[in-house]
């Protein structure tokens, strides 16, 4: 996998339900985004990375499942200036699986919201769309 040299910020936000262990929610994010800094804020876990290599696990899943169209559609549908986002299933992330959600209700305990910000957001979407 060749990671393009594109400046970006990747943010992950995930709610913590009263029935959940915050450490397990933190682990779910770390499983999918190993190169990110995580912190607990009130009733959520937030993580951030400024390295596109943090997207490596997701990219590998996109490539192996040939799911470029699904991710690209989500990223393009949610595009707003230099930002785009998508949801990942939290329970799947905890067991180190990457599962995209079209809407928040597809993840029963709440999804992980992944926000990508870059002055070259189109370059990032193209990198994902043409994964090979």
Domains in the chain: boundaries: 9-129
| pLDDT 10s digits, 56-94 | 888 888 888 777 788 888 889 999 999 999 999 999 999
Q: At what angle do helices 121-129 and 56-65 cross, to 10 degrees?
A: 40
Going by pLDDT thresholds of 50, 70 and 90, the confidence category of residue 131 is low
13 closest CA partner among 118, 114, 106, 116: 114
What is the longest distance spanned by two Cα atoms in the chain? 41
Phi then psi dihedrals of residue 52, to 5 deg: -65, -20
* pLDDT of the residue at 23: 93
* pLDDT of the residue at 61: 83
Whether the CB-CB separation of 38 and 26 falls below 8 Å is answered with: yes
The number of beta carbons lying within 10 Å of the beta carbon of residue 34 is 12
* pLDDT of the residue at 1: 65
* pLDDT of the residue at 132: 63
| pLDDT 10s digits, 10-64 | 999 999 999 999 999 999 999 999 889 999 988 999 999 998 888 888 888 888 8
- Does position 9 have pLDDT exceeding 70, yes or no? yes
Q: Which CATH class is domain 9-129?
A: alpha beta
> Which range, of 65-74, 97-106, 111-120, averages the lowest pLDDT?
65-74
* pLDDT of the residue at 71: 83
Mean pLDDT of 92-120: 92
């Amino acid at each position: 996998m060749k990671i393009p040299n594109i400046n970006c910020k990747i943010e992950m936000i995930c709610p913590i339900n009263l029935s959940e262990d915050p450490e397990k929610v933190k682990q779910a994010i770390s499983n999918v985004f190993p190169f990110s800094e995580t912190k607990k804020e009130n009733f959520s876990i937030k993580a951030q990375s400024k390295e596109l290599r943090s997207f490596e696990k997701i990219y590998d899943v996109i490539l192996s499942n040939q799911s470029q169209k699904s991710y690209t559609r989500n990223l393009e549908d949610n595009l707003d200036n230099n930002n785009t986002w998508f949801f990942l299933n939290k329970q799947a992330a905890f067991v180190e699986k990457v599962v995209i959600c079209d809407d928040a209700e597809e993840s029963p305990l709440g999804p992980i919201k992944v926000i990508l910000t870059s002055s070259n957001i189109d370059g990032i979407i193209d990198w994902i769309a043409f994964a090979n």
